[in-house]
Homo-oligomer: A and B are copies of this chain.
Amino acid sequence: MPELRKDLISSRWVIIATERGKRPSDFNWEPPPRQSGFCPFCPGNEEKTPPEIIAYRNGGGLPNTPGWRVRVVANKFPALVIEGDLSRQGEGMYEKMTGVGAHEVIIETPHHDQTLATMPQHQVEDVLWAYRERILELKKDPRLQYVLIFKNRGEAAGASLEHPHSQLIATPIIPKRVQEEVDGARQYYDYKERCVFCDMIQQELAHKRRVVSTNDHFVALAPFASRFPFETWVLPRMHNASFEDARKEEYGSLARILRETLQRIERVLASPPYNFVIHTSPFREGDRLHYHWHLEITPRLIQIAGFEWGTGFYINPTPPEEAAQYLRDAALTTDC
C-alpha cells in the first residue's frame, strides 16, 4: 500500500508510491550527446563572459586571462541586475518591484570534462570557498535579503552549458519556500526548544536506514519524506544557521562528502541530470537557533507533472530507505 509521509519542516506531504516501485535501472533517460565546439567557460575564452568578479589563481596572472582554478562572473542573461534602486509599487490591485539583485555563475574548474564527482577534493573545496566569499560580499548590500546557491547539471535539470558551473541568485525578498522552511523550523523550535534538523540528524544516525554516509562534520541521508527518487540531503552535524558561517575545517569536510555523494549518485544512476541547492538562513533572520543550513541534491529522474504543480504534493516511486541502501552500497573511487 502506498504511504503518505509528512515533511517535518515544511508540512508538505509526499506519496511514497510503492505500487510504482522503481529501482535505479527503471529510470530511462538519455545522456545528452557530448557537446562539441565552442565553450565560453573554457580557459582562453575569458573575454566571452562578462568580466570576472573573483577568481582563484596559482601565482599571479591578470584577471580575465587563463590560469584560474575557479572563476566567478556575472550571468550574461541575468534574471536580476545589481544596478538600480529597489522600488516597490502597486499596479491596480497588484504589487510589483524593480528586479534588483545579482545573478552570477561560478565556473568550477578550467577542465571542461571534469565534474564535482571526478575533480580532486581540493578543487571542490575551492568552489565552496568561492560560494562563501560571494555570499559574504552580497550580504553587505542592504537591498538584498537572500542568496541562493544552486547547480543545474544536465539539460533535463535546466543546464544550458556543459562546462561544470554553479549559479548564485541574490534576491531583494525572501523567497516563499525559504521563508516557509524557516517558519516551519521555528514552529518546531518554539514547541520543543530544540532544532528540528539537529533532532532529525540524531534520529537518522540512530536508525541508520536512511543514512548514506557520514564523516567528521557531515551526514548525507535520504530524507524521510523524499519528494524525488534518490533525493539526498547533506547536513552539518553541528548546529549552524548559515553556510557562510561554517568553520574552516568544515569546508574540506563538506567537499569530501559532497564529492563522494555525487560519485555514489553517478555510479548508481549512470550520471543522471541533477540539481542541488544550498538552503541557508536569510540575511537578517534574528537569533537563528531554529534554522540549520544544509544542501539538497535532487536527481532529475522523473518528469514533474500536473499533479505536483497543482498541489505541491509529490509522488515518489522510490522509498528513501531503498535509495539510501543503493547509495550506501555504491563503490567509490579511492583517489582524491
- Pick the residue among B81, B96, B311, B313 that contacts A19 (CB under 8 A): B81
CB of A247 within 8 Å of the partner chain: no
Minimal Cβ-Cβ distance residue in B for A152: B305
CB of A38 within 8 Å of the partner chain: no
CB of A167 within 8 Å of the partner chain: yes
Contacts of A84 in B (CB 8 A): 1
Provide a sorted-by-A list of 26 A–B residue pairs whose CB atoms are within 8 angstroms. Answer: A3-B97, A4-B96, A4-B173, A6-B94, A13-B97, A13-B175, A16-B99, A17-B79, A18-B99, A19-B81, A91-B224, A92-B203, A93-B199, A148-B310, A150-B307, A151-B306, A157-B303, A158-B303, A158-B304, A158-B305, A175-B310, A176-B313, A178-B310, A275-B305, A277-B306, A277-B307
Q: How far is the CA of A106 from the CA of B84 in the complex (A)?
A: 51
Contacts of A176 in B (CB 8 A): 10-13, 311-313
Indicate if the CB atoms of A1 and B303 lie closer than 8 Å.
Answer: no
Q: How far is the CA of A203 from the CA of B177 in the complex (A)?
A: 29
Quick one: CB contact mask for A300-319 with B, threshold 8 Å, 1 for yes?
A: 00011111011111010000
Quick one: CB contact mask for A149-178 with B, threshold 8 Å, 1 for yes?
A: 011100111110000000101011101111
Q: Is the interface of A mostly helix, strand, loop or mixed?
A: mixed
Indicate if the CB atoms of B80 and A15 lie closer than 8 Å.
Answer: yes
* Chain A interface category by residue count: 35 or more
Q: How far is the CA of A276 from the CA of B310 in the complex (A)?
A: 8
| A160 nearest CB across to chain B (Å) | 9
Contacts of A158 in B (CB 8 A): 303-306
Contacts of A159 in B (CB 8 A): 305
CB of A288 within 8 Å of the partner chain: no
| A311 nearest CB across to chain B (Å) | 3
Contacts of A258 in B (CB 8 A): none
Q: How far is the CA of A310 from the CA of B171 in the complex (A)?
A: 13
Contacts of A178 in B (CB 8 A): 310-311
| A77 nearest CB across to chain B (Å) | 5
Q: How far is the CA of A98 from the CA of B225 in the complex (A)?
A: 14
Quick one: CB contact mask for A82-110 with B, threshold 8 Å, 1 for yes?
A: 00100000011111111100000000000
